[in-house]
Structures are given as structure tokens and as C-alpha cells.
Amino acid sequence: MNETRRALLDALADGPIEGPALADRLDVSRAAVWKQVEALREAGFGIESGDDGYRVVEIPEYGAEAIAFGLEAPYRIEYHDQIGSTNDRARELAETGEADLVVVADEQTGSRGRLGREWIGPSGGVWASLLLRPERPPAEIPVYALAAAVAVARAAREAGAEAVIKWPNDVLLAGEEPTQRKLAGILTEMEGEADRVSWLVVGIGVNANVDAGALPDGATSLREATGDVDRRVFLQRLLETFHDLTGGDTDLHAILDEWRALAATLGQRVRVETPGETIVGEAIDVQFPGSLVVRTDDDERVVHTGDCEHLRPV
Ligand code: BTN
């Protein structure tokens, strides 16, 4: 989507606006405004032109323009009806120098999960990958995944689902174990040097308007929990929260308290499979940039990465 289209969407989101004022605000001719308005109509927007100017009366269900309309976060949107993996596309765009862009798809045919696992991405999900170039050291990057989990959980709660977070960044639907099932997952990928991040891709997969039968065992969807959601609004809220937590020179340490408030893992007996060993104990806290503190029988351990399982209390 070009800059003028995005500026037009921002202007229309503020309320009715007359053609000449729009031309001024966008710094283009009135003919160019008309052309862009027509393009938005073709993209599914209902736009009336009355005495007070152009007014949006209908927004398409999903798509680049629909998500950008009224979005209070500085990201551009690239939308695909179908794609292999939004993370792969975001990585491709990283090589061309893009930034602050979100690749969104209705359906993924080759999506990837953590630790090289497959991820099922049928039509109806919220599949999105943010491409960012944060001016932060690589060591701080794990906290972006925690921020994404907070953003997903909050958007799910706003949609009426009682979402909680399992360390580090799985979003589950609350309930008595083992009924807690996975609603969303996050896959972050980055490239950089020891002290500088070149690019970061935060891939977010939310089983939104998807039949749970189409998903792997242990997974659930918003459709199953609350009924279908408005994916446009869901993704907007998610992106806005993510930007509030991570944008500009925000204090990234503040993410931890937001994460703690939504975490199902703290206070639980856990088994964490790390690359080198298995750690069993009580999860007692999270430490910047996202490590889990586990009290074992004889020690306190700080776990940086691994697969976490909630165990029944002994
Ligand atoms: C996990 O829990 O294993 C992480 C799953 C991440 C899936 C998302 S869907 C959007 C983005 N594109 C991908 O190929 N993967 C991530």
C-alpha cells in the first residue's frame, strides 16, 4: 500500500473530510484524491460523499486497507489471501530494506512453529509477521516475544476469551489442566551482530475463526471458545498493544509486569526441556529479557530457553 493510500485512510478514519481539505492534507491534486477514493471503493470500502465531504460508511472485513483503517500504530500492512509463511515473506522483505511492516495472510500453506516444528495455518486465522529494526542489543530481543504474547492475550480477552500465557510465549485458554489448550504461538527470528540487531521478525499465529478439528491435538480456537471474532479489530488491538509495549524508546522492562499479570506458569510446577537438560521445579518468576526462574529441590535456576510443560502439583 502506498503512502498516499495510507494517509487517505488515516484522514478518513478521523471523520468526514471535504475533497479540497483531503487534497491539502495529502499534498496531492483533487483528481488524485478522487482516484484513491475510487481505489478504496474497489477494495470494498463504502465511501459516501455528502455535504461534509467524504465519509466511510462500510469497512471491508479483512485485508490491507481494512487493517490499516484506524490503526493506531505506525505499521504498514501487506496482505495475502494465501501464502507459504508470513515469516518467510517478512524475511524476504527484510533483505530489501523494509521495516515497520506487517505481513498478514488469511491462510498459510507452509507455516513454521518454534524449534523447527510445523504450524497449521488454515483460512480464518490471524497469521501475521511484524518486520522491525529495533535499535536495541540482540540480548534484549527475547522480551519482544513476551510483548507479543501479552498483546495476543489482551486482544483475546477483549474478544471474551480467558487467555493466559505459558512461558515463554504460548497463549492458552484458561481452564483446569489438562483442558488448557493452545490458542496462539509466536516465532521470533532475527539477524544481527553481537551488539546490533539488523532485523527482527515477530511471527504471530492465532487460531481465530478456525474449526478446532482442523488443528493439532492440544490446540483450540477463538471460534470454539467464544465464536468468530472480527479479525480486523482483533489484529488492530494486538498491533496497538505491541507497539505501546515496544515502540520508540519505551522501557522494555515494563513488559515483564504485564506478562506476569497474564502468566499461567508462575506458581506452577513445571518441567522445562532446555537444549542441555531437563529442569523440574516451581516456576517462581520471570527475569529480563524473558528468562524463567525455577526453584528446584536443591537450587534456584534461571532458564533462558526451552519447552515448558505445566505439571500437576505433587
Ligand atoms: C509456535 O508456537 O511454535 C510458534 C508458532 C508461530 C506461527 C506463526 S503464524 C504466523 C507466522 N508465520 C509462520 O510461518 N509462523 C508464524
Q: Read out DSSP for 212-276?
A: GGGS-TTB--HHHHH----HHHHHHHHHHHHHHHHSTT--TTHHHHHHHHHBSSTTSEEEEE-SS
DSSP class of residue 314 equals: -
Determine how many CB atoms are found less than 10 A away from the CB of residue 90: 25
- Return the bridge partners of 131, or none: 101, 201
Q: Which pLDDT score, from 0 to 100, does residue 3 have?
A: 85
Which atom of ligand 1 sits closest to the CA of residue 117? 3
User: What's residue 180's pLDDT?
Assistant: 87
Cα–Cα distance between 136 and 166 in angstroms, integer?
25
Backbone angles phi, psi at 47, to 5 degrees: -125, 115
Ligand 1 lined by 118 (C-beta under 6 Å) = no
3-state secondary structure of 163: strand
C-alpha cell at 311: 505439571
- Gap from CA of 30 to ligand 1 centroid (Å): 43
Instruction: Report how far ligand 1's centroid is from the alpha carbon of 243 (Å).
Output: 19
Q: Which string of DSSP letters, residue by residue, matches 85-101?
A: -HHHHHHHHHHTT--SE
Which DSSP string do the residues of 92-156 spell out, in sequence order?
HHHHTT--SEEEEEEEESS-B-GGG-B--B-TTSEEEEEEE--SS-GGGTHHHHHHHHHHHHHHH
> Pairing between strand 269-273 and 126-132?
unpaired
Q: Which pLDDT belongs to residue 106? A: 98
- Count of alpha carbons within 13 Å of 232, Cβ hemisphere only? 13
Q: Whose CA is nearest to atom 2 of ligand 1?
A: 185
The residue whose CA has the least distance to atom 9 of ligand 1 is 205
For 236-262, the pLDDT digits (tens) are: 999 999 999 999 999 999 999 999 999
pTM (2 decimals)? 0.96
86 lines ligand 1 (CB under 6 A): yes
Q: Extract the residue ranges of the chain whose pLDDT is less than 50.
A: none
226 Cβ partners below 8 Å, 6+ apart? 159, 160, 161
Residue 121: CB within 6 Å of ligand 1? yes
- Of all atoms in ligand 1, which is nearest to the CA of residue 128? 10
Which protein residue has the closest C-alpha to ligand 1 atom 3?
113
Return the best residue to mutate from 87, 118, 123 for the ligand 1 pocket (most ligand atoms within 8 A of CB).
87
Return the pLDDT at 174: 84
The per-residue pLDDT for 2 is 81
**What pLDDT, on the 0 to 100 scale, is given for residue 176?**
64
Å from CA of 266 to ligand 1 middle = 24
What's the pLDDT at 89?
A: 98
Spacing, Cα 72 to ligand 1 middle (Å)? 24
